[in-house]
Amino acid sequence: MKNNADPRVQAYAVWVPMRGGAEKDVPEATATMPDPRVRHFWDADGFTLRAFAPVLALPPGREAWDVYLIYKPGTRWEGAAPPAPDYWMHQLWKVENGPFLDPAVLGQHLAQVLAVPG
């Protein structure tokens, strides 16, 4: 993507205890995202798994992990629930209400958000 080094992009990677993952695994996992604009967090109790599930209208009992969310600049989490993303994709099994991850398409949506005057 042309804007892949755009300083306006801020990324947050929230690591959760899925598939046997533990906090001790986070340093190795962060190496998969070496971009200095990415801030990494460990969510030990899985709060974000549950908080984002209804916002994304995931099927009952499903948790929000392996999701990629795009927000317009200036979006803030101000209430009890996180804000709905402007666009999102996922890598979840049997979830059909959101598109499956396609990095090129996700990049196109990010470029569209960045192209809109703030």
Distance of CA 69 to the CA centre of its chain: 4
Give yes or no for residue 108 having a pLDDT over 90.
Answer: yes
Reported as a single tens digit per residue, the pLDDT across 4-19 is 578 889 999 999 999 8
Question: How is the chain split into domains, by residue range?
Answer: 11-115
Give yes or no for residue 22 having a pLDDT over 50.
Answer: yes
Q: How confident is the model at residue 2 (pLDDT cuts 50, 70, 90)?
A: very low
